[in-house]
Structure 1
Amino acid sequence: MFGVRFCFSRAVVVVCLMFAASCSATYQNHGYVPSEKDLAELVVGVDNRATVDDVIGPPSASGVLSEGDYYYIRSRIRTFGAFKPEVVERQVLAISFDQGDRIANIERFGLEDGNIVPLTRRVTDSSVVGNNLLRQLLANIGNLNPGDLFN
């Protein structure tokens, strides 16, 4: 009797611990931002794009053109149970270049510096939404050109 009660209480404790562990937050890190030590090796107005590539590496995102500015982005995302993932930290390092391809400015931005930008998508409406198959077939009768059939 005592052994069964002990096993049951031990099982309850194990289930409670597993439940508590499954509800803990998990973190995912995405991207890369160079450290301050690496950035200290770059000199604004002196170093160029090739030096940046050698010292800290090319970025995963750059400006629109091939000669655009460099952007290094790192995000930390927290996932907690079944809730929607939340970005808890974001750093953006922007290195801009002048006309001579030398470093013009190095700026660092955080999540608190940004604004929420709602993303929208454009969807082309289909012209056949309200039409059934018979209406679509009958609508095409006037569009038939017999000369196109024999060419």
Structure 2
Amino acid sequence: MISRKSVAGVCLVVAAFAATGCTSIRENRGYIQDASLIEAVQPGIDNKDSVAATLGRPTFESQFGESTWYYVSSVTGRKPFVRPRIREHNVLAIKFDASGNVVSSQNSGLEKVVFLSPDGDQTPTLGRERGFFEDLFGNIGTVGAPGAGGGAGPGG
């Protein structure tokens, strides 16, 4: 016969395996920041070439306004079968002057992230709302009608 202690032990092992299946999965996304490398970038001393040699190519560059390189990194955590949530988020912005020299570097975090919540499953539109049958049969009788254009020839 199976003893009560062995059944309790098996249940304990099964519970331990089930608990490890629910642990959070941590993922690093984007640029992995190194504090010593970031501190090595000095305004007035470095330029685009030295920044690229120290930090690598940026995640993206500004297209308008001041020349700025952005290094974006995120750490997400998620439970199995659940949408990931951002745990940490860092954006390093390095601004350059017209000649390509570093003007400033600024580090920002999760406080500047904007979370948008969509308004339902449909996109609101302006104008009147038409049903299925209005879309299907809406043009019947309008083709060739006076003032609708297209029905009469030139001058008539």
Question: Would you say same fold, with TM above 0.5?
Answer: yes
Match of residue 79 from structure 2: 80
Q: Which structure is higher in helix share?
A: 1
Q: Alpha-carbon deviations, 1:87-139, whole Å to 9, x = none?
A: 1211111101112221110111122x425342669947497841417x73352
TM-score, normalised with respect to structure 1: 0.73
User: What is the letter of the counterpart of residue 89 of structure 2?
Assistant: R
Determine the C-alpha separation between the residues in 1 that align with 2:24 and 2:62: 35
Relative to structure 1, the CA distance from residue 90 to residue 71 in structure 2 (aligned partners, 3 Å threshold; closer, same or farther) is: same
Relative to structure 1, the CA distance from residue 104 to residue 119 in structure 2 (aligned partners, 3 Å threshold; closer, same or farther) is: farther
Q: Aligned with 1:100: secondary structure?
A: coil
Instruction: Find runs of 4+ consecutive structure 1 residues off by over 6 angstroms.
Output: none
Match of residue 44 from structure 2: 45
Q: Which runs of 5+ in 2 are unaligned?
A: 145-149
User: What is the letter of the counterpart of residue 52 of structure 2?
Assistant: D
Q: Which runs of 5+ in 1 are unaligned?
A: none
Relative to structure 1, the CA distance from residue 5 to residue 147 in structure 2 (aligned partners, 3 Å threshold; closer, same or farther) is: farther
1:2-151 correspondence runs (5 A): 3=2, 5=4, 7-65=6-64, 68-81=67-80, 84-111=83-110, 113-118=111-116, 123=123, 125=125, 129-132=130-133, 136-137=136-137, 139-143=139-143, 145=150
* More moved, 118-127 vs 47-56: 118-127
The alignment's C-alpha RMSD in Å is: 3.4
Match of residue 147 from structure 2: none
Q: Aligned with 1:64: secondary structure?
A: coil
Q: Alpha-carbon deviations, 1:11-45, whole Å to 9, x = none?
A: 31222111211122221111114423223433312
Determine the C-alpha separation between the residues in 2 that align with 1:147 and 1:11: 87
1:62/1:68 contact within 8 Å kept: yes
Identity of aligned residues (%): 21
TM-score, normalised with respect to structure 2: 0.71
Determine the C-alpha separation between the residues in 1 that align with 2:131 and 2:101: 58
How many residue pairs match? The answer is 145
Q: Aligned with 2:75: secondary structure?
A: strand
User: What is the letter of the counterpart of residue 75 of structure 2?
Assistant: R
* More moved, 14-23 vs 120-129: 120-129
